[in-house]
Amino acid sequence: MVKRTLVQNRPWLLASIAAAVAYFVLSDARIPGIGIIALKGAGVACLSVYAWLRHSSADARLLAVAMALSALGDIGMEFYTAIGGGIFLVSHLFAVALYLRNRRRNTAPSQKLFAVALAFLTPFVAWQLVSSTVDAAAVTLYALALGAMAGLAWTSSFPRYRVGLGAVLFVISDLLIFAQMDILAQSPIPAWLIWPTYYAGQFLIATGVIQTLRNELQPE
């Protein structure tokens, strides 16, 4: 069983990590544009393949599609921000569908409050960060989907400190992108933190969801 797991599944996670780290390290290197763009998309694309192969349920398929769309969004962002953002918005809708299918039965009031805060403060903060730009309305609309995704992830039946935390890291990453458009335009902080928080969030979401599905729906 352990041997089968190593052969069939871990390579996709290892490939994902390797691609993500390589992109972060080499993003400023003189690599042909298409090469670095492909490397960027490969990190989450491998997580999509991992999710698709690791479990055959409808929930795993929703996760795989959300991850595949995110990978396309990563690539799209390199060509035109609006294209990448639009693809990411659709990926959030697939994630929302996944989390709505897996609601936590008993959620503490404090956890519900935090989920509501994620859902409503995310678009508000995003709007504040970009309110002086012409893209403020589009960013706010996107952030509504982002906040809904994160809030539902936090109150889903998946592990809160893996999937929920992963969604929060995703929110932090995107808010850093928005801050980079204006108030942090001259700061090196976004460049250092956007990719690590984004990829770590996606990795936690993918592995947390799949592990839960395997433990609950396909015990070994």
pLDDT in tens, 151-177: 999 999 999 999 999 999 999 999 999
CA-CA distance, 24 to 39, in Å (whole number)?
Answer: 10
Q: What is the pLDDT of residue 140?
A: 92
| Angle ∠(100,56,6) on CA atoms, nearest 5 | 115
Q: Residue 72 is encoded by which pair of tokens? A: 């396309």
- CB within 8 Å of 219: residues ≥ 6 apart: none
Residue 218 — very low, low, confident or very high, per pLDDT cuts 50/70/90?
Answer: very low
Alpha helices in the chain (DSSP H): 2-8, 10-26, 33-54, 58-79, 81-100, 109-130, 136-154, 165-180, 189-217
| DSSP one-letter code for 103 | B
- 141-148 mean pLDDT: 96
Distance between CA atoms of residues 136 and 17, nearest Å = 33
Render pLDDT for 19-76 as a digit per residue (tens, 0 to 9): 999 999 988 766 667 888 999 999 999 999 999 999 889 999 999 999 999 999 999 9
Check whether 2 has a pLDDT greater than 60: no
**Mean pLDDT over all residues of the chain?**
90
Is residue 7 pLDDT above 90, yes or no?
no
Q: How confident is the model at residue 134 (pLDDT cuts 50, 70, 90)?
A: low
Question: Who has greater pLDDT, 105 or 48?
Answer: 48
pTM beyond cutoff 0.75: yes
Output 180 or 148, whichever has higher pLDDT: 148
Model confidence at 219: pLDDT above 50:
no
In this prediction, residue 187 has a pLDDT band, given cuts at 50, 70 and 90, of confident
Does position 108 have pLDDT exceeding 80, yes or no?
A: yes
Three-state DSSP at 25 gives: helix
